[in-house]
């Protein structure tokens, strides 16, 4: 879905007010969006629509970086909430447009990744891949290894959703290469390796997939955060399916038991956890 730029600019403008008051309004809105992640509103869709309405009442000139962060958070929560994914298209597009206007490459990278995820989830694979490819270009230009790894992972997931498994695998492997040797990116490398295994399974390259999934699990043998636990659940599921594909039923049964254990552990966090990883995607979170 393409948005007319003039329409987008109209959506970010409404009544002016005292600068300090307006800055405070944005700060309060940002805090409420963060709070909704840890303690979701009973009607999240209505809450997010109201947040967009409040955002439009603050002129663009007031703290544009904070506005962009709010737009990305709104788009992300619409996406993760799942019942109104199309509602994420507008805030994601606004975030990209405004990040371009202010020339902030970090925010532009985050916004493009979010837009790509949303566009693919709303059945627009062509524009999704274009957005994610641009996010990769931005990350490459900035020399940001973390952003490059996330961009390669997300681009690979987009190819996977389009059933382009060889391209998806190539992207995921590139992500692992960028992350190799960087301790801060171990968790990202584990996600990328898990994705490599998944793509190998679809290509019927089962032994290569088993090698990748073992490496993924070894990197985070004991996950210590909810996001890593969710990654482990995905990894255990892929591991089990690969073992079944090569006829190693007894081992698959053991992994299935491990999968159940990790699901139970992850579910303890369900009331307070909204994942940054969903079906192989990686949000580009704030530093």
Task: Provide the pLDDT for residue 276.
Answer: 40
pLDDT in tens, 193-252: 999 999 999 999 999 999 999 999 999 767 666 667 777 888 888 999 999 999 999 998
DSSP SS3 for 91: helix
Task: Provide the pLDDT for residue 73.
Answer: 93
Average pLDDT, the chain: 84
**Are residues 166 and 274 both part of a single domain?**
yes
**Are residues 103 and 195 both part of a single domain?**
no
**Are residues 123 and 192 both part of a single domain?**
no
Close Cβ partners of 274 (under 8 Å, ≥ 6 residues apart): 37, 40, 77, 80
Average the pLDDT over 34-51 and give the result.
Answer: 84
Number of structural domains, the chain?
A: 2
**Are residues 165 and 248 both part of a single domain?**
yes
Domain end: 92, 108, 140, which one? Answer: 140
Beta-carbon-side half-sphere exposure of residue 176 (alpha carbons within 13 Å): 18
Least confident of 13-17, 66-70, 181-185: 13-17
Close Cβ partners of 39 (under 8 Å, ≥ 6 residues apart): 272
Q: For residue 83, give its domain range.
A: 1-140
What is the pLDDT confidence band of residue 272, given thresholds at 50, 70 and 90?
very low
Close Cβ partners of 206 (under 8 Å, ≥ 6 residues apart): 200, 242, 245, 246
**Are residues 208 and 72 both part of a single domain?**
no
**Are residues 200 and 226 both part of a single domain?**
yes
Domain end: 91, 119, 140, which one? Answer: 140
Distances (CA, A) of 13 to 6, 16, 54, 58, 113: 11, 9, 11, 7, 25
A 10 A CB-CB count for 284 gives 24
Task: Provide the pLDDT for residue 254.
Answer: 85
**Are residues 234 and 113 both part of a single domain?**
no
Average the pLDDT over 105-131 and give the result.
Answer: 94
**Are residues 121 and 208 both part of a single domain?**
no
Domain end: 114, 140, 166, which one? Answer: 140
Helix (H) or strand (E) holding 238: helix 226-245
**Token pair 């909704």 is at which residue?**
36
Domain of 61, CATH number, reads: 1.25.40.10
Q: Is the pLDDT of residue 268 over 70?
A: no
Task: Provide the pLDDT for residue 186.
Answer: 92
Task: Provide the pLDDT for residue 262.
Answer: 64
What is the pLDDT confidence band of residue 127, given thresholds at 50, 70 and 90?
very high
What is the pLDDT confidence band of residue 279, given thresholds at 50, 70 and 90?
low
**Are residues 149 and 133 both part of a single domain?**
no
Instruction: Mark residue 233 as left, alpha or beta (left: phi above 0; alpha: psi -120 to 50; beta: remaining).
Output: alpha
**Are residues 226 and 125 both part of a single domain?**
no
Q: Is the pLDDT of residue 189 over 60?
A: yes
Average the pLDDT over 173-184 and give the result.
Answer: 96
Average the pLDDT over 7-19 and give the result.
Answer: 52
pLDDT in tens, 62-95: 789 999 999 999 999 999 887 788 999 999 999 9
What is the pLDDT confidence band of residue 58, given thresholds at 50, 70 and 90?
confident
Taking the C-alpha atoms of residue 283 and residue 281, their distance in angstroms, rounded to an integer, is: 7
How open is the CA angle 141-142-143, to the nearest 5 degrees?
95
**Are residues 246 and 278 both part of a single domain?**
yes
**Are residues 230 and 120 both part of a single domain?**
no
Taking the C-alpha atoms of residue 95 and residue 115, their distance in angstroms, rounded to an integer, is: 9
């Amino acid at each position: 879905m393409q948005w007319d730029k003039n329409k987008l600019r109209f959506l970010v403008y409404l009544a002016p007010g005292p600068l300090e008051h307006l800055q405070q309004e944005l700060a309060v809105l940002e805090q409420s969006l963060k709070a909704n992640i840890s303690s979701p509103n009973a009607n999240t869709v209505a809450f997010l629509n109201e947040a967009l309405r409040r955002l439009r009442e603050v002129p663009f000139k007031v703290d544009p970086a904070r506005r962009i962060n709010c737009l990305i958070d709104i788009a992300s929560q619409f996406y993760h909430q799942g019942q109104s994914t199309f509602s994420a298209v507008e805030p994601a597009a606004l975030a990209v447009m405004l990040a371009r206007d202010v020339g902030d490459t970090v925010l532009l990278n985050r916004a493009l990744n979010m837009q790509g995820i949303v566009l693919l989830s709303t059945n627009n694979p062509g524009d999704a891949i274009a957005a994610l490819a641009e996010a990769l270009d931005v990350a490459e230009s900035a020399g940001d290894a973390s952003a490059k790894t996330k961009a390669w992972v997300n681009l690979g997931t987009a190819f996977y959703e389009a059933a382009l498994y060889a391209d998806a695998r190539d992207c995921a492997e590139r992500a692992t290469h960028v992350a190799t040797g960087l301790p801060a990116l171990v968790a990202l490398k584990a996600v990328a390796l898990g994705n490599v295994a998944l793509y190998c399974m679809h290509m019927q390259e089962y032994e290569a997939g088993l090698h990748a999934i073992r490496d993924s699990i070894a990197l985070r043998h004991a996950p210590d955060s909810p996001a890593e636990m969710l990654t482990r659940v995905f990894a255990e599921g892929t591991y089990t399916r690969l073992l079944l594909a090569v006829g190693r039923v007894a081992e698959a049964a053991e992994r299935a038991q491990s999968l159940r254990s990790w699901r139970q552990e992850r579910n303890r966090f369900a009331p307070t956890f909204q994942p940054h990883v969903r079906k192989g995607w990686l949000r580009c979170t704030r530093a």
